[in-house]
Amino acid sequence: VTKDQPNTSGNSVGAHYDKITAAWIYLLGEDLHYGDFENPQTPLAAATARLTERMAAAGQLRPGLDVLDVGCGIGTPAMTVARRWGCRVTGISISDVGIDIARQRASKSDVADLVRFQHGDAMNNGLPDHSFDRVWVMESSHLMKDKPALFAECARVLRPGGILVLCDIIAHADLTIADTMRFARDFLLLDQVFGRARMVTLDEYSRLGGLNGLRVIQREDISRQVRPTFAGWRTNAGLHRQAVEALLGREATDRFVESTSVLERLWDLNKLGYGILAAEKRSA
Ligand SMILES: C[S@@+](CC[C@H](N)C(=O)[O-])C[C@H]1O[C@@H](n2cnc3c(N)ncnc32)[C@H](O)[C@@H]1O
């Protein structure tokens, strides 16, 4: 476990996302996650869509499944899962702003009858036991301090034989004290920009994916494939500078731009990366 800094509650993550979501749409696009780049020239929107496809393949999606999208952003992956794979999707998020935008977008879409969005905390989601065939956790777990609670909740709501699929930023190894000191300013900046996060290794995610009746069926480190994401965000910040500054202010916009270089450095030093994991719930 690394970068285990004092946590904020789910609520302050929600407040952070309430504040940044409108700007994030300019900076990241409508998919609020990294891209999976075939090559560095792939457009960011195509790469973020490709990451959704990679998750869908790992999660073995097929028509008619009930999917829980944990940390659903503004609903783009949920709507894609409904449209492309014919699943019924419930999206939950700790951000009310995200949920409002997701509901508005869904109501005007061709998949309005397949998706629904509601406020919920992934670490205590309040949903019934055994109510989903798939649980989809796309780049939200780094914002959750209590990852054992997240995994336990995911396992609880899965039906026997169901699959949990997760992708997120990972730490490549536990940070040493020297690392903590060396990168203290970088991590502070990342917290300010992206919200208080706690990154763990893919080994730790795999360990959690082997508890509560789950069994890991796939894991992959895709750090290299997502690396061009930061250049894409920087380009968007340049293209939409005025609109983003109007939403976030100049200082926060500057910090966002700086964070793209910080992330590139941490990637190139092999401190941070990106992983994907799928775990199956034992059949009854
Ligand atoms: C980086 S965004 C990813 C959004 C979406 N999965 C996507 O790929 O477009 C992180 C999301 O996680 C949500 N989130 C963070 N902590 C959460 C929690 N404890 N419970 C539910 N959602 C949470 C945020 O509100 C936000 O919607």
The 8-class DSSP code of residue 160 comes to E
Nearest to 114 by CA among 69, 59, 158, 48: 69
At 232-242, the pLDDT tens digits run: 999 999 999 99
pLDDT at residue 10 tops 90: no
Contacts of 100 (CB under 8 A, 6+ apart): none
Shortest-distance Cα residue to atom 11 of ligand 1: 71
H/E element, 25: helix 10-27
**Ligand 1 and 75: CB distance under 6 A:** no
pTM of the predicted structure, to 2 decimals? 0.95
Give me the helices (H) in 59-214, please: 76-85, 96-107, 147-157, 177-182, 184-194, 202-208
Partners of residue 221 on adjacent β-strands: 275
User: What is the Cα–Cα distance from 191 to 25, expressed in whole angstroms?
Assistant: 19
pLDDT at residue 9 tops 80: no
pLDDT at residue 155 tops 90: yes
Partners of residue 219 on adjacent β-strands: 277
**Ligand 1 and 94: CB distance under 6 A:** yes
User: What is the Cα–Cα distance from 193 to 213, expressed in whole angstroms?
Assistant: 36
- Mean pLDDT over 177-193 rounds to 94
At 13-43, the pLDDT tens digits run: 999 999 999 999 999 999 999 999 999 999 9
